[in-house]
Every structure is written in C-alpha cells, then in structure tokens.
Amino acid sequence: MRLEAISQPSVSRRIFPPMLAIVASFVIAALLAQIAGGNPFAVFGLIFKGALGSQFALLETLNRATPLIFTGLAVAVAFRAKLWNIGAEAQLYAGAVITVVLGTGALAWPAPVLLPTLAIGAALAGAIVLLIPAMLKTRFGVDEVVTTLLFNFIFLLFVSYLLEGPLKDPMGMGWPKSARLIPEARLPRIVEGLRLHWGFALALICAVAIWVIDRKTTLGFEMRAVGQNPEAARFAGIPVTKVILKTALLSGGLAALGGFSEVAGLKGSLTLDLSPGFGYTGIVVAMLALLNPLGVVAAALFVAIIFVGADSMSRAIGVPTYLADIMLASALLLMVLAILFTKFRVRRD
C-alpha cells in the first residue's frame, strides 16, 4: 500500500475526516468515562452544563478561551508558513513581564493611552522572543522546534528569577509574585461584576485581522507560498527569509498578547503559574482549527468548554478531570490523521 497525493480534495473530503476525528475523540472519552465508573451521557451532560449552564459558567468559559485564541492564532500563523513555533508559552510570559514592568507605575498615563502602550510593548517582547529562533533557523539552519521548545524552559526560569528578585512585590508576604498593576493598566470588564474582560474582544479582533491578512494581503499569500514549497516560492521571487522573519514577529506578538490579556484583564499581577499550559494548548487549538484563523476561535471555545466543564463534572460525580486532557490529546492525534487523509488517499499496489 502507498499514499497518493490528492491535487484538489473535494469539499466532503476536507470536511468529513476532521468531523470524524472529533466524534472519535468523544467516543474514546465515553469509553474512559465508563471505565472510571461514570455514565458517559451524564459525564458529557455535566461537562456542557458546567461550561455553559449559567451566565457565570458561560463567561468563565469565554475567559478561559481568551488566551487560547491568542496562542492558537500564534501557532496557526507560524505553522501556515512552516515555522514550527512550539514556544508560545515563552512568548506569552514575555508579554506578561512587559505588562507588569510598564503597568505597575513606571508609566503614570491615563488608561486610553496606557493600555494600547502595554499591548504594543507586550507584542514587541513576544515578537523578539520568537525572532531569535527564526533568525537561527534562516541564518544557520538551526531546528526551530528545538530552540522554541527550550525557550519555554529558559523563559520560565527567567520569570522565576524576576519574581524572586527585581519584580518581587515587597508587600507580597514573601510570595514570589509581582506588584499589582495600577488601575489605569487594567482592562475593563465587559460585564460588570463578572470576570470577563475586553481582552476577549481583542482576541476576536485579532482573529478577524489575521484572517484578512491571510486571505487578502500579499504577506498572507507569501506566507502560504513559503509554507507550501519554500524552494518554489524562492524561485518565484518571494523573499523567503524575510517572510519567515515577518511570520515570527507576527506569531510571537500574538502569543504575547495572551500574556497581556491575562495580567491586565484577569490576574492583575504576574505569578509563575500564570499559564497552566496555554502555549502548548494553543498547538491543539490551531490543529483542531486546521490553521484557519476564524476556526481558531471555535476551537478555543471547544477546548475551554472541555476544561471548564470537566472541573465542574469532576466535583459532581468524581470522574477525574484528566478525562479532558485525554480527550484533547486524542482529538489532536486523530486530527493529524484526518489532515493526512484529507490530502492523501491509500492505494493498493
């Protein structure tokens, strides 16, 4: 048997395998829920009720989806150009660090000026963090999978140093956390009295903007061309190195905005556990979305529903929350297979 490339996959072939992958992940989760002693229908019912069953639950789900949209967009942009950005976690923390450095009193500006400044500063920090591996890739051929992955650990250690040293809150009772942002540096709430903030709206705007860039601009065309075949793109006159570097700046900036939104919108200060793995989960989100910027929003909401709902479900019937992790991991693996069978067919020799 061999795999044969499909030059122009039909609409049904592009849609059916990914849908089948999602269904299969639910089936696997149902079997595991049964083994754990729970009724699969009750488990899934409680997951969706816990994530969508009330105004509070719905807004918490949107809150959880916000950083996932940013990191999902960052990964989707990079992967589209075959820049394998595994370091969205480091870029997210870079954005959070700059937000704290500038937002705890260093800039005593009014909110309409300070908030855009913090967002731009955070995006620049994340862009620089990814620019370094991108330059190593284009200049020396260093594998960006390794460098971006290692940057996650390096940057977490750097953040740990900052929280135990220069950024440590003198009023924090010895805990490794930064001082709180000044009120002008906080993103306002969308719904007064609840935690959903305008970072979610910013994430939606970014998703639409990336879709426009991807589909309607020269840069978007060049990114897709480089991702499809860099040698052919270079032969056609596309500056491949410049496109990869531009992609790195855009991708790193998007991931860093996730850090900005978490600190300025939700937490108010920086701690080492700011992200429970938003950068890594962004890879799952991007793959579930098939690297489509608008699909990233839907995929991030799906992942947020699973995580928020699993917490509530576990408290109600005692099935471990690890079910959510297994479900998303299986969805990722099955989606990779679905993408393969979207582009290739099996032939018997």
pLDDT tens across the length of the chain (349 residues): 777 777 777 777 778 888 888 889 889 988 988 888 888 888 889 999 999 988 889 999 999 999 999 999 999 999 999 999 999 999 999 999 999 999 998 788 899 999 999 999 999 999 999 999 999 999 999 999 999 999 999 999 999 999 999 999 988 788 899 999 999 999 999 888 788 999 999 999 999 999 999 999 999 999 999 999 999 999 999 999 999 999 999 999 999 999 999 999 999 999 999 999 999 999 999 999 989 999 999 999 999 999 999 888 888 887 788 888 888 888 888 888 888 888 877 777 6
In which element (H, E) is residue 344 found? strand 344-347
pLDDT of residue 236: 92
CA 97, CA 95: separation in Å to the nearest integer?
A: 5
- Residue 165 main-chain phi, psi, to 5 deg: -135, -105
pTM over 0.85, yes/no:
yes
Report which DSSP code applies to 178: B
Bridge partners of 3, per DSSP, are 346
- pLDDT, one tens digit per residue, over 114-159 is 999 999 999 999 999 999 999 999 999 999 999 999 999 999 999 9
pLDDT of residue 215: 94
In which element (H, E) is residue 132 found? helix 111-140
Bin 194: left if φ > 0, else alpha if -120 < ψ < 50, else beta.
beta
- pLDDT, one tens digit per residue, over 189-236 is 988 878 899 999 999 999 999 999 999 999 999 999 999 999 999 999
- CA proximity to 98, closest of 119, 74, 116: 119
Residue boundaries of the structural domains of the chain: 69-282
And the tokens for 192?
């007064």
CA 184, CA 111: separation in Å to the nearest integer?
A: 4
